[in-house]
Structure 1
């Protein structure tokens, strides 16, 4: 089992919906947190709000980090090194999304998405795994998506990044298991976080009516399941009922899932 009590945990994308829940729930477990996001002022404001309600645990540092480039990832690593603490758990949570047909999304948008959603976790995992291998101890957590198991129109680039993260995580697991380093990958369905209000482009944007409220999951419950998966060293975590259903359908009844997805997409686009 992975111990959370006084564990030093680095969380990327800590200002977002999942990031705030990870912060709150890990503080409740008395973890020691290093939090990062692109806007340090917003991050500190949200952390202070959480700490007015949660008195356990400790926030060691709030760091500004732009993970859309190799230099940004390396800069974060060096900032963490200056704190003179060893990272027990790395949670690659930062992610972005948009909605639009593949050929109608500006290239700079989807290329940045790939950097943040896929290349940043790969870069940070490589940097921090070196220290974990030396210590023969550590845990790397990648927040993927059920879109990493089943693609959907309008989310082609997002799905590609999350499929890639799933493959990377599985390979990482096999490479690091002999060094007592655990790997956990999480595949949530759409949750009630700001990512649901992502930017939209082109044809799909004109007809899109947004995800109905009753489909979205509760981020607090998703992160609770995520933390249980981390504690029990699970490689794959499907933290909500919809994610579990999609995963099972994709494995055992993919044609049925395709038909269900077609119906869902038509409703989602107002068709």
Structure 2
């Protein structure tokens, strides 16, 4: 599942061309050794009719694109029709969980397969798992501050004709920003929606964006992602405001630049 945008104005062709020369090819992570460290990325199966990519940001919370959780009538899909398969590789998942709650960004407006570029900025959703994933080999990813033009990023995704194992593009580039969206030269296709975009710092992968759409700029294919910093905080606050999933609980909000297991903020829903 991926949406298409045709940009009326876009990043200069020279920037796109120069960046494309530096982007690496997709590499399939089809062995245990290759996929080590990326197991918290998984395939989000949608009502047995398609899939997106999602990633753990807490042991019970997933981050993906909001448009993945809406149907063709722009109605929110029932949570019980979604299944997350962490680290799915060649028919086997490191963990499989049902979804019990979906919260899309409150400012996201579903607009079908052909998106508006200004809608990308809010194209994120948080999904709650039926049970936490607490395995030493599956560690939730921290969230990093917004990247800048010229920054090198990586992407792990599932996609058309590569649905059974994740693929890694180890190096692609942030080309710039437009209407609140990050413009990248990362290689995405159907199924890549919701894929985490990473900045690697001190050997640690940190999520800086979520893939929303593919676009064309002067005939060149580019990808668009949500800039997470402010939209994610708004989304998590919305998630907390809807109340805890279990009696007496509180929702833990992830602060930008902090690890998911320490120093986070708690907001009471009562």
Q: TM-score, normalised by structure 2?
A: 0.27
Structure having the larger proportion of residues in helix: 1
